[in-house]
A and B are shown apart, each in its own frame.
Chain A
Amino acid sequence: DTGVSQDPRHKITKRGQNVTFRCDPISEHNRLYWYRQTLGQGPEFLTYFQNEAQLEKSRLLSDRFSAERPKGSFSTLEIQRTEQGDSAMYLCASSGPGGIDTEAFFGQGTRLTVV
């Protein structure tokens, strides 16, 4: 297992188009997180799954954003009707079962540019 994998690495899209990103977590990790990072800021929490259940969704996530994790494995994040303000790095992370010592491992991110 080579870690958390995100696809694509880069995406340029026109305003108003829909985009979908994919995240493949580390095998057997039951928690999966989506974060968004803009220039000069730390990653901002978007949403979190435990297995296939979406347990929490940030108020940063408007109705245009939707995330799924069918079968508790890979996850997708879809942005509908993209806006220029959606331009950011979208990071996925996963962590395993266990207690407080389980830290999240991040993928390399998908950089979205909305033109």
Chain B
Amino acid sequence: DQQVKQNSPSLSVQEGRISILNCDYTNSMFDYFLWYKKYPAEGPTFLISISSIKDKNEDGRFTVFLNKSAKHLSLHIVPSQPGDSAVYFCAASGTSYDKVIFGPGTSLSVIP
């Protein structure tokens, strides 16, 4: 049973446009959500997070939106740059932060 879902395996976006990556979760006990970025041959790198008490968190070009009632979150990248091309993992954890559950990832390609 996959608790964190990313239904789009891949996404292509033109440089300068907005990239929107979506994520759904099933476990209502999740209280903290994270996005990680992964380049080939490297481990995942933390990108941005959001607590369930918020519905938006922004860090530079990256914004994460959380809709708790829909159990849905999204990552917006504006403007998209070729260096953003990577696999993006949505992840979630409970309040005790003992482990993080990852989605399957979305491969983003930003086309120059």
Contacts and interface: CB of A to CB of B under 8 A. Distances in A.
A101 B49 contact: yes
Nearest to B2: A42
B33 to A, nearest CB: 11
Contacts of A109: 42-43
Interface residues of B, number: 27
Contact of B46 (A33, A45, A55, A104): A104
Contact of A42 (B31, B51, B99, B104): B104
A107 B43 contact: yes
B103 A42 contact: yes
Contacts of B32: 100
Contacts of B42: 108-109
B98 A103 contact: no
Interface string B92-112: 000101111111110000000
A105 B49 CA distance: 13
A41 B104 contact: yes
Nearest to B105: A42
A91 B43 contact: yes
Nearest to B103: A42
A74 interface: no
A100 B97 contact: yes
B41 interface: yes
A4 interface: yes
A91 B102 CA distance: 13
A88 B45 CA distance: 19
A95 B46 CA distance: 11
Interface in B11-62: 31-32, 34, 36, 41-46, 49, 51
Contacts of A43: 44, 89, 102
A100 to B, nearest CB: 5
Contacts of A50: 98
Q: Pick the most buried of A31, A41, A55: most chain B CB atoms within 10 A of its CB.
A: A41
